[in-house]
Each structure stands twice: as C-alpha cells, then as structure tokens.
C-alpha cells in the first residue's frame, strides 16, 4: 500500500472509538423546534433527516479519496436516542469498561443529562416496546429465553457526505461493492442512490471500461478499494450496554462484502476484479468491512484456494458461503431465481435478496433454556418464576419420547410469545420510526406506496436466530443414553446432581463428557436427535405471518449471545457446568468433536440447511495444516465436500490455542491478534474473558 493508504489505515487503527453527540443533538433540536406539529411520522422522519444533513458540520479528513463519516470524525460514533436512550450510568459503563469501551467526554455527559435524556426518556422505541409487550414476553426476556428485536439504526451512513460534495461542487471518485464484487465510479448523489445499504450489484464492465479508457489503472483501483476498506473501519458499531452488548459485544458493525458466486443468468461471476479484492482483503488486514466468498460449483478452484491462502494467515477472513445453497434457500422462500442469484449473505450469515428485501433479525432464541424450564415443569430455576407451561413432572416421564414431546410443547409456547412480541415491535417501528430514505433505495417501496418497515419491500422476512443447537443435542442425547437407555441414573438423581452443579459427582460428569455419544462425530445416535430438534424449531417458527405481509423463518447463529445464554442456564446433562457458554452456531460443543473435521461436516450436513436463512459453522485448524499447497488442496476438498450436500457456510480459525492463551495472559504483546468469533472477526484482546475461553476451547484439528 502507498503512503496515503498507510497513513489513513494507521489513523483508523490508532483512534479509540468515542461518542459523537452531533447527530443526537441535532435530532433533538429538530423535534423540539415545533416543526413536527401536525406532521405525519413519515414526513417528520424525512424532515429530521434533511435537518441533520443541512446542519451537520463540514469535514474532510486529510488525504482521503472517500470522504464523510457517520460521526464527526473517523471512529466517532453517533447515538440513536429515538431508539434507545443511554442513561448517565450507561455512559459511565461505556467509558470505563475494559472491553469495547467508547470514550465519553464531560461535554457529552452534560448534554445527555440536560438535553437528550429529558426529551427522549419517555419517547424512545425501547420505552414504547416495554409498555406494549405482554408480561409473559417480559418474563421470558428477563430469564434469557430470548432477546429482543435486533434492528439496525436508521440509514444515515452517508448523511455527512451529500451536502459537503454539493456545496464544494467537487468531482470525487467513489464506489460501492456488492454481491458480485464490482467497481463503479460515481458522484455522491449517485452514491446515495445505491440499491441497499452495502448491497449494490454493479457490472464489472465498468472496471474494465476504466482500464480501457485509461481513467483507471489496476493500482488506482486498488487504492480506491483500500480507501473504501478504511472508510468502513472508521465506523464502529453504535455503543451497546446490557443484554444488547451481550448479543454482539464488538466494535464490528456487521457489514459483509460478498464476492464470487453467480450472475443473474446463473453463470460464473468470478473475474479479475475478484482477485484484486481478495488482494486488498489480505493487504489491509482490518476488521471492517467483513468479507466472504460465495462459492458456487461453477467457480474455479483457483478462487477458493486464493481465499484459503488469506485464511491461513490467521486473519479469520474471508468466510466461505455456498452460493448455490443461498440461491436454493431464497427460491424456497419465494424469491424469483434472478433475485435469488443477485442476493447473498449479510451481517453474519443471513441470506436475503439484496435491494429488494427487508430481512430483519428479530432476536435470539435460547433452546437450552427452554429445555431447562421443561425439566422444571414450566419454572425457571434461575428466577424461581413459573414462566412456561406445565408439561409434566420429569420424574414421571417413562420414556425419552415423553421428555421430547414436553420439550416440543415448551418450544412452541415460547415461540408463540416471541412472535407475538416481535409483531408488536414491528408495528411500533412502522408507526413511529418509518425510514423514508431507505424506502427510496429498496425495490417496490415506492411502487407500493409503503414504508420499508411497513411492508413496502418486495420481500419481507423476520428471522429468529436459534442458539445452542450443538448443546441441546448433546444434552438430550445424554439424557436419552444415560437415563432411559443405559439407566445409569434416574431422572430425579440427574436433576439433583445438576441442581448442585456436579458437586461431589465429577466421575459422573466425566462419563457425560467422555463416555456418552456426542454431536459432531458422525454418530447417528446423537445426529438423529439434532435432526429432530431442528424439525421442532423449524416447525414452530417457519411460515408464521409477520406484520409486513411476509413471514418468520429460522436462522442458526449466535453472534456472541451464546456466552450470555450459557450464563443464565444451570449445569446440563452433557457435562457442562452452570454458567459456561453454550455451543455456537451449528458447531459441535467446544471440544466434543473428536474424530476430525470430516466427521464434523458429516454430522452438520444431516440438518436441512436450505430450509434456513443461514447456518454458521466454525472450524479451527492448526497453522501447519495449511502451510503448503498440499494442505490447501485438502482443505479446499473438505469445503467442496461440505457444500456438495448443501452445507451453507464454513469459517476457519488458523491460530493455535497456545497463541490465544499467551494473548490472554499478555494482551499487550498480542494487540494485533485477530480471530474468528462467530459470523465475524475481532481482535482477540477485545473479547471478554468468557468469550476468549470459549474460543480457546474449540477443537483444534490437525488433519483433514
């Protein structure tokens, strides 16, 4: 990279994230101005957007090719008081916590105390939500059965750009990347006409034309791409505290650059720009934007192997998605084949039709907690509250089928509560914070005359993310094996042992850990149970109507919530002690997969990935495995083998557990260590201790 890019990259890495009050202050000024009287909410939101654009300060960062920030400067982070209002205590936590802190100066605290909190405290979406959802929803939420809706902030990433460019009348090079990793040079008005946030599909002919007419060289294109990467890295995620921070405790804001895959006509989309982008991913080595490859059977092996050569450096990027399965998933959901091929994955692993769909994450669902409540006949042992339905005293269950049916009833009960609450939340978003600017960008909103949050998009999907699939499988497998089949102990004895967190029962715990079938080892005793759990969850959620004319579907991903969900669950029959993390994604329980990665992919292939909107599989390899071409060839064949029976996604950590332990002990010596967490990469030293330990505990494969 040249000196310009080196300087901008260093600046992006050096500046500690901090809270910018500009947006919150301007928004509050507008709502207090009196211009909102007698104005509908959609018009009010549009006027507020205009007010922010017209009144934010003009800033250019020295040396930039792409200008504009979400906050007042690189790494400055705005807040969104109309969605949730940070208390002064929240600000103190953000400023002082050891991990993912945000600097909060005294001026910001004073402004919040005197201006932001007094106006927004009773008006925020969060306040409205907790006034309108049922007590049953609140009880389940507080117990950790599920989390609330995961809504992105309003689309204002570019509001700091438009006026600056127009007022300066400056021609400026800019571009956006999308599903087929293509490059364009736009004016910024054009930049603001992108079809969806982060998901614009362009034609690589523009790149080729630039080379032909000499308005672009490969090196200038590389420099623009590098500047683009830095621009993304300048945007930390909005600050989070409480359960929201537990869901995704990271500075990463879950942008995901898609590359490869197929074109709208189904042909191979890999081209010379693909490899230039992969070069930039390797050269820049920064967290944002996240990167992935869409791997189709029509793509050449050279493409996959180039990605693996980046992965082997220990960066944790790019992740690898099955482009053909994404198309199958989206077509099964009712998308046209062309819209499906032009779609892909965003965030962590969730699939959608780019520029045409509102696909919303509505919160995480704790499958293991539901079983714990089932084993206590509807009572949450953590709070002592009766929050579930009575499905029978477990001591009276005469067979594993009795237990499984009780678990199924409990899952259906809590899914009903979750969906009822999610629909209430959707209506609140549609009524109180419509998104007129975003509605311009998403196909069919204008034609339908409906807001993005109100069913205007061509397709409308709510995903509920199931968490702990490996854990729930091993727990149920252990109960079936040890209580009902082998009769090593009774249900009463098991529940008493779990209540006491295996105190004085380490021998039995070791039996659960080491002498009981486990998911991830191509053992049908356990794998048959994961199929059944999958069907329960799928049938409980899939096809249920949402408020936007679409329906609910399932995802299987955790971000970081598997650590929080584990903390609210007591000891479990797979040998896990109370409060330890659950499994992440569809990966086996940490350390339970003992027969190599081939056995893992055989196990996880036994669920029907294309009936989901995304699954997440983490694998960990020692660096020596990918040290030469032979090793890369083997891992490439492993990926192709997994994708052949329709696996959705795989990502790899190529850093030893010993290196992670050293970083945990001496973080100052390993500040640049990046690892794959769930659907994203992060600095290992920025992760909380529980998450660090969970990643260290994942099985380290030495061969394929």
d(CA 521, CA 510): 18
Can you tell me the distance from the alpha carbon of 31 to that of 14, in angstroms, rounded to the nearest whole number?
A: 36
Q: Which two tokens stand for residue 631?
A: 């090793």
Task: Return the axis-axis angle of helices 41-55 and 22-32, rounded to nearest 10°.
Answer: 130
Please say if 350 is a catalytic residue.
yes
Q: Beta partners for 256?
A: 290
Residue 548: both structure tokens together: 């936007």
**Residue 573 backbone phi and psi in degrees, to 5:** -75, 0
Looking at 30-119, which runs of residues are DSSP E strands? Answer: 76-78
DSSP 3-state assignment of 326? helix
Pairing label, strands 618-621, 319-322: unpaired
DSSP state string for 281-298 = HHHH--SSSEEEEEE-TT
Single out the residue of 164, 200, 156 nearest to residue 180, CA to CA: 200
> What are the phi and psi torsion angles at 552 (to 5°)?
-85, 145
Q: DSSP letters of 492-514? A: HHHHHHHHTTTTT-HHHHHHHHH
DSSP run (H or E) holding 701:
strand 700-701
Active site residue 348: yes
Residue 297 to residue 8: CA distance in whole angstroms: 38
Nearest-CA neighbor of 355 among 465, 452, 289? 452
> Which residue is catalytic, options 350, 357, 584, 694?
350
Please compute, for residue 380, the number of CA atoms within 13 A of its CA located in the half-sphere on the CB side. 21
Residue 398, phi then psi, degrees to nearest 5: -90, -15
3-state secondary structure of 321: strand
First to last CA, the chain: 35
Calpha distance 318→337 (Å, rounded): 26
Q: Which of 293, 283, 275, 309 is nearest to 631 (CA)?
A: 309
One-character DSSP codes across 644-682: TTT--EEEEE-S-HHHHHHHHH-GGG-TT-EEE-SSSEE
Give the burial class of 127: count Cβ atoms within 10 A of its Cβ; 0-12 exposed, 13-18 middle, 19 or more buried: middle
Joined tokens for residue 522: 């191509």
Catalytic residue among 184, 348, 445, 685: 348
Which residues have a catalytic role annotated?
A: 348, 350
């Amino acid at each position: 990279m040249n000196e310009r890019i080196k300087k901008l990259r260093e600046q992006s890495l050096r500046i500690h994230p901090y809270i910018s009050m500009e947006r919150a202050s301007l928004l509050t000024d507008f709502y207090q101005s009196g211009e909102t009287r007698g104005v509908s909410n959609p018009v009010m939101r549009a006027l507020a957007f205009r007010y922010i654009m017209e009144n934010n300060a003009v800033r250019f960062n020295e040396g930039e090719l792409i200008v504009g920030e979400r906050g007042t400067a690189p790494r400055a982070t705005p807040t969104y008081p109309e969605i949730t209002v940070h208390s002064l205590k929240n600000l103190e936590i953000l400023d002082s916590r050891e991990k993912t802190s945000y600097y909060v100066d005294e001026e910001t605290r004073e402004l919040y105390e005197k201006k932001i909190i007094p106006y927004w405290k009773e008006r925020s979406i969060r306040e409205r939500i907790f006034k309108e959802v049922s007590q049953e929803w609140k009880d389940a939420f507080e117990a950790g059965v599920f989390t609330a809706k995961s809504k992105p902030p309003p689309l204002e990433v570019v509001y700091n750009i438009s006026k600056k460019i127009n007022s300066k009348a400056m021609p400026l090079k800019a571009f956006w990347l999308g599903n087929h990793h293509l490059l364009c040079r736009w004016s910024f008005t054009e930049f603001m006409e992108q079809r969806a946030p982060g998901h614009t599909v362009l034609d690589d002919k523009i790149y080729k034309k630039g080379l032909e007419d000499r308005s672009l060289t490969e090196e200038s294109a590389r420099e623009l791409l590098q500047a683009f990467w830095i621009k993304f890295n300048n945007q930390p995620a909005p600050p989070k505290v409480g359960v929201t921070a537990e869901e995704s405790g990271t500075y990463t804001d879950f942008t995901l650059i898609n590359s490869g895959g197929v074109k709208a006509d189904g042909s191979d989309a890999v081209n010379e720009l693909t490899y230039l982008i992969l070069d930039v991913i390797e050269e820049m080595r920064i967290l944002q934007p996240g990167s992935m490859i869409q791997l189709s059977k029509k793509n050449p092996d050279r493409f996959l192997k180039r990605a693996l050569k980046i992965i082997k450096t220990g960066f944790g990027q790019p992740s690898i998605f099955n482009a053909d399965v994404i198309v199958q998933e989206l077509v099964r959901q009712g998308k046209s084949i062309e819209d499906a091929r032009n779609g892909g994955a965003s965030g962590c692993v969730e699939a959608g039709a780019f520029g045409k769909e509102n696909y919303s994450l509505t919160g995480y669902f704790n499958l293991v907690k539901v079983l714990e409540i089932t084993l206590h006949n509807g009572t949450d042992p953590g709070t002592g509250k009766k929050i579930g339905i009575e499905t029978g005293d477990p001591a009276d269950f005469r067979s594993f089928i009795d237990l499984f049916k009780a678990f199924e009833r409990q899952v259906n009960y809590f899914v009903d509560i979750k969906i009822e609450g999610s629909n209430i939340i959707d209506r609140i978003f549609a009524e109180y914070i419509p998104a007129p600017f975003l509605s311009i960008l998403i196909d069919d909103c204008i034609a339908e005359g409906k807001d993005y949050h109100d069913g205007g998009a061509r397709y409308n999907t709510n995903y509920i993310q199931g968490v702990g699939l490996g854990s729930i499988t091993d727990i149920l497998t252990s109960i079936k094996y040890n209580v009902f089949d082998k009769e090593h102990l009774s249900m009463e004895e098991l529940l008493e042992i779990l209540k006491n967190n295996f105190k004085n029962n380490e021998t039995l715990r070791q039996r659960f850990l080491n002498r009981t079938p486990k998911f991830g080892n191509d053992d049908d005793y356990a794998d048959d149970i994961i199929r059944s759990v999958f069907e329960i969850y799928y049938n409980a959620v899939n096809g249920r109507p949402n408020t936007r004319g679409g329906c609910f579907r399932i995802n299987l991903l955790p971000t970081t919530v598997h650590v929080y969900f584990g903390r609210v669950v007591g000891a479990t029959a797979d040998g896990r002690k109370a409060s330890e993390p659950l499994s992440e994604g569809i990966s086996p329980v940490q350390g339970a997969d003992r027969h190599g990665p081939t056995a893992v992919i055989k196990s996880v292939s036994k669920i029907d990935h294309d009936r989901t909107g995304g699954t997440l599989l983490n694998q960990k390899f020692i660096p020596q495995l990918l040290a030469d071409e032979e090793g890369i060839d083997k891992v490439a064949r492993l990926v192709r083998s997994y994708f052949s029976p329709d696996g959705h996604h795989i990502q790899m950590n190529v850093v030893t557990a010993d290196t992670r332990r050293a970083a945990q002990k001496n973080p100052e010596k390993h500040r640049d260590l990046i690892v794959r967490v769930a659907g994203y990469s992060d600095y290992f030293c920025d992760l909380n201790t529980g998450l660090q330990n969970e990643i260290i505990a994942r099985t380290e494969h030495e061969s394929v």
